[in-house]
Amino acid sequence: MKVAALIVAAGRGSRAGPGAPKQYRPLAGEPVLRRTLAAFAMHPDISAILAVIHADDEEAYRKAAGGLPKLRAPAHGGKTRQASVLAGLEALAMSEPPDLVLIHDGARPFVSARIVSDCIEALATHAGALAALAVTDTIRRGNDGLAGETVPREGLWRAQTPQAFRFEVILDAHRKAAGGDHTDDVAVAARAGMEVALVEGDENNIKITSAADLARAERMLAAGGETRTGMGFDVHRFGPGDHVWLCGVKLPHDAGLVGHSDADAGLHAITDAILGALGAGDIGKHFPPSDPEWKGASSDIFLAHAAGLAREAGAAISHVDLTLICEAPKISPYTEKMRTRVAEILELDIARISVKATTTEGLGFTGRREGIAAQAIATLFFR
């Protein structure tokens, strides 16, 4: 059977505070939404993934989803969650509609393979399935800021996602409920008279709503993974020219840098630092200087390649710290442009990129203005 995942990610996430919508906030170096999409992309029973996004988020989505398999072109959401889900279902129906669909919040990045499998299995005997957790705490009704009566907790469940359904049935239910404002898909299903099975959820399957939730998610990842650090060092001497390339930024200078590629010592050092943390050798191993293909090549190719290897290894680039060492040209006027360019290549928030410069007080080859050196440290988190 064909099983699709419909990821609802069109919200603005205002409760997360100022900044990008919560689904695009970095979480241990990767956007929250990318982690959500990846959880379904890696599940063997999921054949297609379609995200519903805000019309203003096309570029943010492209960066978050880049390189992941099974993705269909995203749909644009509506003014309510219910309208967004219907838009996604209609998009799935237009080309190779699935037999089953799992509807999931884009801001729940920790959904487990077990929950996905259990929801799919439940659809063999029910039209719908809901991942949920039984309420175990004492529940009280509030009354003007005071503790009121106890609410019996027997039979109460905390709804999570995914909420899974036979596709044609939930599509029909959503079409008939169009214009309403149901907060989840089980409510739409119940309105249509569908029986929805309860599937055991997971305490870790949290929905990131606030800044506190994002901090909790960071702690969860830190507790369940491994951090590695790599170091990179690169040197290029000056030669004829009127500019140098550093961190993907062109700086005017009375000399150029000599190298097989564009001689961008900054990007070379960062690339080697990432490769070092992966245990994957150095630039020369991946892009041999003896290969004419790389003569004069832009070094962003090398850095993007290292970032891709990190993703394939299940690693998130948490932080990059680069020091450029030279007497000239003057680096400080360009550091923000450099940070921005490195962040773009690595698809990271600029806050995770540090670029600074120093001199050697006239000592050594950099002190004699014979060239430029660069040293980088990259921190990677492995899930």
Choose among 187, 222, 216, 183: nearest CA to 22: 216
Rounded CA gap, 165 and 169, in Å?
7
If asked whether residues 160 and 256 sit together in one domain, one would say: no
If asked whether residues 85 and 234 sit together in one domain, one would say: no
Distances (CA, A) of 263 to 245, 249, 268: 7, 12, 8
Q: Strand pairing of 157-166 and 100-105?
A: antiparallel
pLDDT of residue 17: 60
The structural domain count of the chain equals 2
If asked whether residues 376 and 320 sit together in one domain, one would say: yes
pLDDT digits (tens, 9 = 90+) for 316-366: 888 999 999 999 999 999 999 999 999 999 988 788 899 999 999 999 999
If asked whether residues 192 and 274 sit together in one domain, one would say: no
pLDDT of residue 18: 65
Last residue of a domain, one of 223, 247, 271: 223
Rounded CA gap, 153 and 140, in Å?
10
Choose among 207, 213, 206, 160: nearest CA to 16: 213
Query: Structure tokens of 205?
Result: 């399957």
Last residue of a domain, one of 223, 240, 257: 223
If asked whether residues 122 and 245 sit together in one domain, one would say: no
pLDDT of residue 253: 97
The secondary structure of the chain in percent helix, strand, coil, rounded to multiples of 5, reads 35, 30, 35
If asked whether residues 339 and 197 sit together in one domain, one would say: no
pLDDT of residue 220: 85
pLDDT of residue 14: 62
CATH, residue 371: 3.30.1330.50
Enclosing H/E stretch for 116: helix 113-122
Q: Is the Cβ–Cβ distance between 18 and 112 less than 8 Å?
A: no
pLDDT of residue 222: 73
In the chain, the largest separation of any two C-alpha atoms, in whole Å, equals: 82
If asked whether residues 254 and 341 sit together in one domain, one would say: yes
CATH, residue 115: 3.90.550.10
Cβ-based neighbours of 161, under 8 Å, separated by 6 or more = 103, 104, 105, 108, 111, 131, 184, 207
Q: Is the Cβ–Cβ distance between 119 and 21 less than 8 Å?
A: no
If asked whether residues 198 and 329 sit together in one domain, one would say: no
* Number of neighbouring beta carbons within 10 Å of residue 237: 14
Rounded CA gap, 340 and 336, in Å?
6
- Tell me the pLDDT of the chain (383 aa) as tens digits: 899 999 999 998 666 566 688 999 998 778 999 999 999 998 989 999 999 999 999 999 999 998 888 999 999 999 999 999 999 999 999 989 999 999 999 999 999 999 999 999 999 999 999 999 999 999 999 998 999 999 999 999 999 999 999 999 999 999 999 998 898 999 999 999 999 999 999 999 999 999 899 999 988 887 767 789 999 999 999 999 999 999 999 999 999 999 999 999 999 999 999 999 999 999 999 999 899 999 999 999 999 999 999 888 878 888 999 999 999 999 999 999 999 999 999 988 788 899 999 999 999 999 999 999 999 999 998 76
Quote the domain boundaries for residue 323: 226-382
- Cis omega (within 30 of 0) for bond into 162: yes
Segments of the chain assigned E as strands: 3-9, 26-27, 30-31, 48-53, 75-76, 100-105, 128-134, 139-143, 146-151, 157-166, 196-200, 226-239, 243-246, 249-252, 256-257, 315-325, 353-358, 371-382
Last residue of a domain, one of 192, 223, 254: 223
If asked whether residues 308 and 364 sit together in one domain, one would say: yes
* Chain mean position to CA 61: 9
Query: Structure tokens of 149?
Result: 């009566």
The helices-and-strands tally (H runs, E runs) of the chain is 12, 18
Rounded CA gap, 270 and 322, in Å?
7
If asked whether residues 141 and 38 sit together in one domain, one would say: yes
Q: Is the Cβ–Cβ distance between 181 and 188 less than 8 Å?
A: no
pLDDT of residue 383: 65
Instruction: Map tokens 């967004």 to a residue.
Output: 84
pLDDT of residue 141: 92
If asked whether residues 231 and 155 sit together in one domain, one would say: no
Enclosing H/E stretch for 84: helix 81-94
If asked whether residues 214 and 230 sit together in one domain, one would say: no
